[in-house]
Amino acid sequence: MTTEPTQEAQFEYDRSVVGVQVQLGEFTISEAQVQKYCETIGEANPKFRGGQFAPPGMLSSVTFGGGQALDPKVQFGNTTFMAGSRMEFKEPLLVGHPIKAQTTVKEVYGKTGRTGTMVFVVRRTEFLDAASGNLIGAMEQSTVHRETEAARE
Amino acid sequence: MSEAQRYFEEVDLGDEYAEEMTPTPELVREFLGLNPARGGPGDGRFTSDEGARSIGMRAAIVPGSMSMSIISRLVEDWMGPEGTLHSLDVSYRRPVLQGDDLKLQALVTDADETPEGPRVKLDVYMENARGERPLQGTAVVELPRKA
């Protein structure tokens, strides 16, 4: 565990997991999953009705079998929320083509603002064509750890 | 919702596009059911008002990944079947409550012919009936040119 000072608080986390890449396993998106996804979020683009392409936004909701993302075990606050997501898409997401994912804890940092001190964990996940290894897309997600009154009760 | 193709030549700075969406508890359950292995934070924030209140929310909230999917749908509907979504960058400013009537809005802020092709930048956000914008961001898409 490493202790990092912030303006108003200190927090601890497991620095050894930062920068370590973990393979999350493979996943193949089916046509039925695309249809269900489109129905659920109201996707109307006809590109995703032909059974060939999946909406790129699906990548944010897919779980890969196998590996587990590393946890920096941040010791700060009593709850977590998503703070932001950045997705980049390099290749079309194809139905029936296996994709694999690998993820890294990129950064852990504290920040103090109007609403108090928060600790952010930034994870980068890359999605690759399982056969060629080509990058299909990538997602950087930041999660915030903070203290809330209700969660303390 | 639009099924029409949008072309680069038709886009002007300041163009707006809007859709509506109400993420009901039923839709949230369906979204979570798309990937049951994914699980969640384990406090019930997505499945019950009580769980959400335990972390200071007024009522059950929408998963961030679902909000991301909803806003990506707005962009995908806007660009049409021959458009390509290159990036989507969003900030979660406050929770999206289940059952909130959401206005999804896209605003063209840049349109440029780049070496990689004709690119359009959009500001995107969702706004609830209370006038709050729980999610804001930007998207970059490539649109086809008219033949």
Whole-number pLDDT of residue B1:
47
Mean pLDDT: which of A59-68, A117-126, A141-150 is highest?
Answer: A117-126
The CATH number covering residue A144 comes to: 3.10.129
Chain B residue with minimum CA distance to A27: B35
Concatenating the DSSP letter of every residue in B37-68 gives GG---SS-TTT-HHHHHTTT-SS-B--HHHHH
A69-112 pLDDT per residue, tens: 889 999 998 888 899 999 999 999 999 999 999 999 999 999 98
Nearest one of B53, B47, B74, B45 to B135, comparing CA atoms: B74
Evaluate whether residue A116 is within a structural domain.
Answer: yes
Evaluate whether residue A41 is within a structural domain.
Answer: no
Is beta strand B117-127 parallel, antiparallel or unpaired with respect to B135-142?
A: antiparallel
Whole-number pLDDT of residue B13:
97
Evaluate whether residue A49 is within a structural domain.
Answer: no
Nearest one of B60, B97, B103, B64 to A83, comparing CA atoms: B64
Residue A44 and residue B1: Cβ atoms within 8 Å? yes
pTM for this predicted structure: 0.90
Concatenating the DSSP letter of every residue in A88-149 gives EE-S-EETT--EEEEEEEEEEEEEEETTEEEEEEEEEEEEEETTT--EEEEEEEEEEEE--H
Split into its structural domains, chain A has a count of 1
Evaluate whether residue A76 is within a structural domain.
Answer: yes
Whole-number pLDDT of residue B40:
60
Residues A93, A56: Cα–Cα separation, whole Å: 6
ipTM field: 0.88
Evaluate whether residue A51 is within a structural domain.
Answer: no
Evaluate whether residue A114 is within a structural domain.
Answer: yes
Q: Select from A39, A55, A62 the Cβ nearest to the Cβ of B76.
A: A55
Per-residue pLDDT band for A2 (boundaries 50, 70, 90) equals: low
**C-alpha dihedral, A1 to A71 to A79 to A6, nearest 10°:** 40
Domain with A15, as residue range(s), is 2-29+64-152
**Taking each helix axis from N to C terminus, what angle separates B25-33 and A31-41, rounded to the nearest 10 degrees?**
160
Name chain B contacts of A82, Cβ cutoff 8 Å. Answer: 64-65, 92
Residue B20 contacts residue A42 (beta carbons within 8 Å): no
Evaluate whether residue A50 is within a structural domain.
Answer: no
Mean pLDDT: which of A9-13, A49-53, B28-32, B86-90 is highest?
Answer: B86-90
Evaluate whether residue A34 is within a structural domain.
Answer: no
Q: Could you tell me if residue B93 is left (phi over 0), alpha (psi between -120 and 50 degrees) or otherwise beta?
A: alpha
CA B64 to chain A, closest CA, distance in angstroms equals: 6
- Which residue in A30, A63, A82 has the most chain B C-beta atoms within 10 A of its own C-beta, making it the best mutation to test that interface? A82
Query: What would you report as the CA-atom Rg of chain A, rounded to the nearest whole angstrom?
Result: 18
